Amino acid sequence: MQDQRIRFEDRVAIVTGAGNGLGRAYALDLARRGTRVIVNNRRRATDTPGDSSAERTVAAIRAAGGIAAPNWEDVLDPGSGVRMVEQALSEWGRLDILVNNAGVDQHAPFHRISLEAFRAVFDLNFYGSLHVTHAAYARMREAGYGRILVSTSAAGLHGLHGLSAYSAAKAALIGLMRALAQEGARHNVLCNAIAPFAATNMTARVATPDFTARMRPALVAPMVSFLASNQTLVNGAVIVAGQGGFRRATTVEGEGLGYATEAELDPERFATDTPRLLALGTLHEFRDALAAFAHFSAAFPGVDPCSQP
């Protein structure tokens, strides 16, 4: 019988933003299962020598018998990903897993946030993952194995008042993940997204004691470990996770409506047909943009070219 156990021995992971909260929980869980972990978190002005958040996570891993090394790269630096990958290779000779967790939240409605502030939030949440992913993906593709996770959010899936920049970045990560999942599949490099509900520094200012107790980051971590494992067949998925519950989120298209003549294509007709336009009816999910286009073309053959008004 084939051995179906999930193995992490000799696997090497990079976890960004792993000094606290979700990233720390991910790093601890992976290490507990045998993964060697590069624990990334940039230094803070309040850090004292030898006592940064990355070092505290590494100390916790080592105290539990695991193997880890700290990394203080700022993921906003375009070269940070290359240096993290080089550290993993220097320490342990390989890189199998990347968990992108570093990010920052937002506390301003769109009309009150400056473009500079918007860009700062977007850059850290999107480019902070892009820089590391670009370097790690190249190595994994060459090696013929890899597992990449990006951290998205319910705000990226559905939007949220006051989180325009954050929502935009988290939605962009889903698009990046979906493309990489398709490109990497033939090289056994799988890419997924986790959309966690958890009590972290980002939620501390509004979290109640009950929320904090129910939404522990440790309850999300096992799903991350599964998606990072050699046994997962999941690829290109967004998994919503929190308080012991998990479900997939995806993009779908509804039934739609079509017109036979160009004369029917006017705003007044659309106003009348709005309920049909917005109705979902039978839902359709597509493996990629080409499949979506093929289905759309078949469903709506187009207007009669001889019907021009």
pLDDT for the residue numbered 284? 87
User: Quick check: helix, strand or coil at residue 149?
Assistant: strand
> Would you tell me how many other CB atoms lie within 10 Å of the CB of residue 194?
25
> Which residues are CB-neighbours of 227 under 8 A, at least 6 positions away?
147, 149, 190, 192, 194, 234, 239
pLDDT for the residue numbered 209? 75
pLDDT for the residue numbered 292? 83
pLDDT for the residue numbered 1? 40
> Which residues are CB-neighbours of 206 under 8 A, at least 6 positions away?
none
Say if residue 109 is exposed, middle or buried (CB neighbours under 10 Å; 0-12, 13-18, 19+). Answer: exposed
**Active site annotation includes 166:** yes
- If phi > 0 it is left, if psi is from -120 to 50 it is alpha, else beta; for residue 301 that is alpha
CATH class, range 12-249:
alpha beta
Candidate list 127, 137, 166, 259, residue with the active-site label:
166
What residues does each domain of the chain span? 12-249, 262-307
Residue, of 207 and 100, whose pLDDT is higher: 100
User: Which CA distances in Å does 123 have to 17, 72, 74, 272, 286?
Assistant: 15, 18, 12, 42, 29
Q: What whole-number distance in Å separates Cα of residue 185 and Cα of residue 191? A: 8
Across 191-206, average pLDDT: 81
Tokens of 61: 């891993």
DSSP string, 190-232: EEEEEEE----TTTTTT--HHHHHH--GGGTHHHHHHHTSSS-
Give yes or no for a contact between 95 and 136, defined as CB atoms under 8 angstroms apart. yes
pLDDT tens track for 57-112: 999 999 999 999 999 999 999 999 999 999 999 999 999 999 999 999 988 999 99
Is a pLDDT exceeding 50 seen at residue 187?
Answer: yes
